[in-house]
Amino acid sequence: MKKNIHIILLGPPGCGKGTQAQKLIREFGFVQLSTGDMLRAAISKGTEIGMQAKSIIDKGELVSDEIVIGIVRDRIFSTECECGYMLDGFPRTLAQAEKLDQILSDRNQKIDVVFRLCVPDDMAIRRIAGRRFHITSGRSYNIEFNPPKIEGRDDITGEKLVQREDDKEEIVQSRLNTYHELTEPLVRYYQKQGILKAIDGTGSPENIYAEIKQTLNEVPA
C-alpha cells in the first residue's frame, strides 16, 4: 500500500462511515477530515479563512463553497496529513469535487479511492432514529441493534436516555433526501474516473473493514 493515501468516504447518515473511519485511524494513522470539524478548528485557531467563516456563521448564513474549499486546502496540505487522510462530508456537490481535483492536480496529487458505503434508506432510518444517548457520559444505545438492559435507561447510572432532535425519523428522512439529491452526481463523477468502490454497508463492521483494507492494498504505490 502506498503511504500517502487520499480517501473520500461517501455514504448516507447511518451507513457506518464513522465506525470504519475509526478503524482506519487506529491501523494506518490516516487523519479523518470532516467539514464541520475543519470549520470549528479554523475558527478556534483564528486563521484568516476561519475568521471569514465565523463572521458568516454569526450572521446565520451558510458558509460559501469558496471558504469551505479554502479550509479543506489548508488542512490536506498540512504536515499532519502527510501519512494520508479521509475526507468525510466533503465534497458534497459536483462543483466541490471538481474544485478539489483542481487544487490536488496543482500539486501533482489526486484522490486515490472513493468508498461508497451503501445501505437502504429504511435501515439508515432504523439505525439513526433508534439511537438513544446518556447525555452526561455520552454513552449511546440503539433500541433495535444495541438496546439498554432496561428500556429508556442507561445501563450504568439508570438515568433517562434521550433521543437527539435531529435523530427523529422525519428529520432523518429529510437528511437522506438531501444526501441522495447531492450525492448521485458525485457517484457518477467518481465512477467515470474509475476510483469509486461501492461496499455493502449492511454487513458486519468487520467484513466491511476487510473489504476496505483489500481495496487499499490494491492502490498503486
Establish whether 175 is a catalytic residue: yes
pLDDT band of 210, cuts 50, 70, 90: very high
Say which of 17, 116, 126, 127 is annotated catalytic. Answer: 17
* End-to-end Cα distance, the chain: 6
Establish whether 139 is a catalytic residue: no
Beta strands 113-118 and 196-200 are parallel
Average pLDDT, the chain: 91
What's the rounded Cα separation, in Å, for the pair 30 and 170?
34
pLDDT at residue number 7: 96
> Is residue 17 within 8 Å of residue 11, measured between CB atoms?
yes
- Whether residue 124 is predicted with pLDDT greater than 90 in this model: the reply is yes
**Mean pLDDT of all residues in 188-201:** 96
Percentage of the chain exceeding pLDDT 70: 99
Residue 84: which region, alpha, beta or left (left: phi > 0; alpha: psi -120 to 50)?
A: left
The fold of the 5-30+83-132+183-217 domain, in CATH, is Rossmann fold (3.40.50)
Which residue bears the cell 463492521? 205
Joined grid coordinates for residue 135: 447525555
Which one is predicted more confidently, 221 or 128? 128
Query: pTM for the whole thing?
Result: 0.86
Say which of 160, 164, 168, 188 is annotated catalytic. Answer: 164
Q: pLDDT tens digit string along 26-81? A: 998 899 998 878 888 888 889 888 898 888 888 877 788 888 898 899 899 999 99
Distance, C-alpha 113 to centroid of its chain: 14
